[in-house]
Structure 1
Amino acid sequence: MEPDREGDLSVLDPAARAWLKATGFGIMEESLWAEALTHGSMGAARDYQRLEFLGDRVLGLCVAEWLHATQAGSEGQLAQRLNALVSRQMCARIARTIGAPPHLLLGKQARDDGGADSDNILGDVMEALLGAQFLQNGWEATRTLVRGLWADAAQGQDGRAKHPKSALQEWAAGNRRRTPIYEVVDRSGPDHAQRFTVRVSVHNVGQVDATANSKQEAETAAARAFMEQFG
């Protein structure tokens, strides 16, 4: 969705309202939901950043409480699952699953640059929507919504397997190799949709490059690729 004007967005687009309601969000004050969908490139009085700040904490508590109540495991194992389930990549995945991209309010340049499919933007918007849900509908409704939207991910393998960087670190140590070295070898794209290329190398073994929407994700992808090639 690309509005005809930039500025104060106080009325929610009817298609976005219908989509939000069908997804399970409780709509009362429309301006709050428009805010949750608005990227800074719109030049609006308010964008999703404040709601994203709140939604990040709400999501973390929802998932932590859920894991504590339903899963066995040590603190470290629960923390690993939590980190995977609340990651920006996971939030972006959920946002795509529920059909968020067409409803993002992006300036023309940001949309032309691929902002509607950016993990950074989609992840932030997903958290902003949860922040709006919490403010308008309270804890119980938000917790129920999170458990519904994250059900497949929670039952899957995210966070159960060892993180690729940890696996590579242990592989290097076990094979008496030096510690893996990560370096950013390329950075491209506008500020809101940057792409990072990271190279991971192990002395006397080899090196692998990988590209992603954040330095951390590129490092993870590079470590995974390295293990697939050399491990």
Structure 2
Amino acid sequence: MALSAEQRDFAGRLGHDFARPDLLQSALTHGSVASTVRSDNQRLEFLGDRVLGLVMAEALLNADGAASEGVLAPRFNALVRKETCAEVAREIGLGDVLRLGRSEMLSGGRRKEALLGDAMEAVIAAVYVDAGLGAAREMVLRLWGARITSVKDDARDPKTALQEWAQARRMAPPRYQMLDRTGPDHAPVFTIRVVLDNGATETAEARTKRQAEQAAAEALLTRVEADRHD
């Protein structure tokens, strides 16, 4: 089946001319609209996650020949996590061409981080199956761009960093409490509080629980580190 005009434009943004258009169509098809004649992107997502991991591991080794595994691992995790995949997906307008069922469309599926991240991985796999690792590598490196060289030396996610901070001081792991959820289903706002054993606490809001937890952890880690240096 030939690509639609919107799908051809999207393929242009990817920089790839598909010999098998059906691969891109499958990559853009969410399970909510799949059928016996229209496969969804779950299998491609599974493969794309592994292709992305290989490309990023290779790129990080090439970018820093002296970095240890302990330094490379958090950088790797920062580059392949769902949030980063979704960020790249937004930059190339992937949500605009996702094929979704009615319920997902009504609930704002085109903006959901999980759906975008999964679809981005599926698109990577579609290019890999269509033209091989070289083509997939070229596309990923171009789309991820400066993220690869600018990823922080300490790229641990804030929740991990805060937990390690607490463990180093013989504290229990940080506790996360959801204080509120507001807004419509397609654009919720979560308010999360994080608390340490010593009573230190911070609160943050974000569009997903994970993002709110990360933001709260980052704010609290920044504060306790600043207090330590005062």
Give your verdict on TM over 0.5: yes
Match status 1:54 vs 2:59: no
Alignment-derived partner of residue 118 in structure 2: 124
Match status 1:23 vs 2:14: yes
- Computed over aligned residues only, the root mean square deviation of the Cα atoms, in angstroms, reads 2.8
CA distance change for structure 1 residues 163 and 15 in 2, over 3 Å: closer, same or farther? closer
Q: Does 202-211 or 80-89 show the bigger shift?
A: 202-211
Q: Contact 1:196–1:213 (CA<8 Å) still a contact in 2?
A: yes
* 1:76 alignment partner, one of 70, 78, 100: 70
Could you tell me which amino acid in structure 1 is paired with residue 39 of structure 2? Answer: R
String of CA shifts for 1:57-108, please: whole Å, max 9, x gaps. 0000011111112213101111111111011000001111112111111122
**Any stretches of 5+ residues in structure 2 without a counterpart?**
226-230
* 2:145 alignment partner, one of 138, 147, 151: 151
Could you tell me which amino acid in structure 2 is paired with residue 47 of structure 1? Answer: D
TM-score (normalizing by structure 2): 0.82
- The 2-side partners of 1:69 and 1:32 are apart by 30
* 1:38 alignment partner, one of 29, 32, 35: 29
Shift of 1:228: 4.0
Alignment-derived partner of residue 59 in structure 2: 66
- The 1-side partners of 2:153 and 2:114 are apart by 20
Alignment-derived partner of residue 228 in structure 2: none
- The 2-side partners of 1:108 and 1:207 are apart by 41
- The 1-side partners of 2:17 and 2:170 are apart by 54
Q: Does 128-137 or 12-21 show the bigger shift?
A: 12-21
CA distance change for structure 1 residues 86 and 169 in 2, over 3 Å: closer, same or farther? same
Q: Contact 1:59–1:130 (CA<8 Å) still a contact in 2?
A: yes
TM-score (normalizing by structure 1): 0.81
- The 2-side partners of 1:115 and 1:170 are apart by 34
**What secondary structure, in the 3-state scheme, does the structure 1 residue paired with 2:132 have?**
helix
Amino-acid identity (%)? 41
**Any stretches of 5+ residues in structure 1 without a counterpart?**
1-9
**What secondary structure, in the 3-state scheme, does the structure 1 residue paired with 2:146 have?**
helix
- The 2-side partners of 1:66 and 1:199 are apart by 36
Q: Does 47-56 or 177-186 show the bigger shift?
A: 177-186
String of CA shifts for 1:188-212, please: whole Å, max 9, x gaps. 797x999866542112423334455
